[in-house]
Structure 1
């Protein structure tokens, strides 16, 4: 277990340990997309982990998909995130803002402009989404023009600059979980006939251009990307060429010298091993549902440099202390994951006051 508590250099940031808070949507932003008033408390409470990766944060109006998710492209957004990063840094932590364009995973009822979602092609994901008036089917998105794809690359660039203005330590591009970047990878979402569709190289082009633009704007050593090879979230089907697309993509990203790649692992061990061989910077591995007894196993084996955890850190602001003390963990209260108040957000108990479950879960 000692390896997980050893320091590591990640781009420009020196981390105190190798445990990462995975990005988790909490839907508690203000109506204008600024972080909610409790966000600084929420993130700073968890600053003892080596790195915090924030909830998905839209880089533009069209990047929003869900209700009350934050943005990072207006002055108000920057001011709100600056309060968050300051609180985390005061506690000795490091924080990357995740840039997430939802693409077709969007509903007009959830956005201020009420426009149709945008995507590589006009193909609905075939999934429902929560709105203010209940669950609704996600409508068919509008296909981006080639010029609009290029403009979206610039939207990521601009948002990355704004994140650094908000004093984030870096940004993580969300290229996973069925959102816009991954939509370009998948034949189930991308039927384009221009340079962004068809071949493996073309379907990987958008992700590479986004990473290149962000790295050029803020430095490769403050730029990272999250990938989820093989995931089927949001109607994604990457097809038989999926593994080879990721082998090509990671090789091209490696040339940029990014701070890290963050893999949400869904079970293809051979592909993960190939990513490890092709990637020469830090690799973060997140295995959803990994048990406490397995914490540190990927670091110990050399497969990963860092490991990311979601619900365990969500429910345990003193996650690091509990691991070191072999103390029991709070259970996450799923009913408070999205939206709401301090309940299930900033009120999880810490040792020695913890009882093993949250008040909200009792």
Structure 2
């Protein structure tokens, strides 16, 4: 049948996109391009939180991007929120992740493991110790969560005592050490999307009266202490953080002081000389520009839902050093080749995002496979 092939060129490369294919250095790594695979929960680890062979295949398929940031990975039993998410705090976890990092490095890629403590976004049925979640304050997020018994309301979390907060910081530090032992090039602290770090930031989730609550400086303290502890353990050049200023999911409300808190937080984090800052942008362009000025290191910007014809515009404008994409890379293991050639992109199958098998995980076709058919 005549007509355009499914891998024919249908987009012209925009000048803005061309700048994405230039090398860039983050920390001690020289990346071949400025495209980043954003962290995406896939819920395919085993019951003990160990990533399997499919995870190694999945990440290695996408090693053509400059940097892979893995799915959120819990630093402790308390840190687990969802079913079958991976951990990085036992020898079995380290061994499982070593297979993933070896596979990515074998394809010439680079990979940071994202450390994600879910905090109150958890349920006892989903964790190894079957205890209630922990949080800055005993305030439930008023949202259900998927469990082995189906959707259930999230119960009220246990408020962390001051000593518990310090132990949680130590859990992050130890998990970072394990990530490096597993062969990761670095770690990204998940400070976004309504999880523990952002719960400390938001007054809707944090009503503490100790050194971790109240003022802007106090609510930013936990994030700074976690970043400082990890940088001291594995080196600042292998430590990064992701933030999502202004996000309102799962009962998170940062209040009128939110933008000023992030200006303070980013200014303090800048003093640590971390590998990069990763912003999940929610639309406040003035704040993003301010954070760009405050942050002297490498900045990754992720704009969820960005259309293809805008890819590369933040790097071209000097607003970002790298750009992160999620679903586009999830569905296109050869994302770089498709951008360079202007080929059509596979559409992501949302029904296979969380849990399951190879379907919707490692079976998205690459251009060379289509050409062979």
TM-score, normalised on structure 1? 0.97
Provide the rounded CA distance (Å) in 1 between the counterparts of 2:52 and 2:194.
25
Counterpart of 1:360? none
2:204 maps to 188
| Residue 114 of structure 1 pairs with residue 114 of structure 2 | no
Which one of the candidate residues 120, 142, 157 is aligned to 2:173? 157
Q: How big is each residue's C-alpha offset from its partner over 1:76-129, in whole Å with a ceiling of 9 and x where there is no partner?
A: 000000000000000000000000000000011111211000000000001111
Task: Tell whether 2:102 aligns with 1:55.
Answer: no
After TM superposition, the runs of 4+ consecutive aligned structure 1 residues lying more than 4 A away are none
- Structure 2: state its 5+ residue gaps: 1-16
Q: Tell me, in whole angstroms, the C-alpha distance in 2 between the residues paired with 1:116 and 1:20.
A: 34
User: Are residue 80 (structure 1) and residue 96 (structure 2) matched?
Assistant: yes
**CA distances 1:280-303 after superposition (whole Å, capped 9, x unpaired):** 000000000000100000000000
Provide the aligned length of Structure 1 versus Structure 2. Answer: 355
Q: Distance in 2 between matches of 1:293 and 1:36?
A: 35
The answer on 1:42 being equivalent to 2:58 is yes
SS at match of 2:137: coil
Larger relative CO (CA 8 A, sep 6+): 1 or 2? 2
2:364 aligned partner: 348
Where does residue 251 of structure 2 map in the other structure? 235
Match of 2:85 among 36, 49, 69: 69
Q: Does 1:252 align with 2:264?
A: no
* 1:12 matched residue in structure 2: 28
Secondary structure of 1:231 counterpart: coil
**Is 1:224 the equivalent of 2:240?**
yes
Q: CA RMSD in A?
A: 0.8
Alignment of 1:76-225 (within 5 A): 76-225=92-241
Q: Deviation digits for residues 39-95 of structure 1, max 9, x if unmatched?
A: 000000000000000000000010000000000010000000000000000000000
Q: Which runs of 5+ in 1 are unaligned?
A: 356-362
TM-score with structure 2 length normalisation?
A: 0.94
Match of 1:264 among 245, 270, 280: 280
Contact kept, 8 Å, 2:21 with 2:33, in 1: the verdict is: yes
Q: Aligned to 1:279, which of 295, 320, 323?
A: 295
Q: How far has the Cα of 1:352 moved from its partner?
A: 3.6
Q: Distance in 1 between matches of 2:287 and 2:332?
A: 32
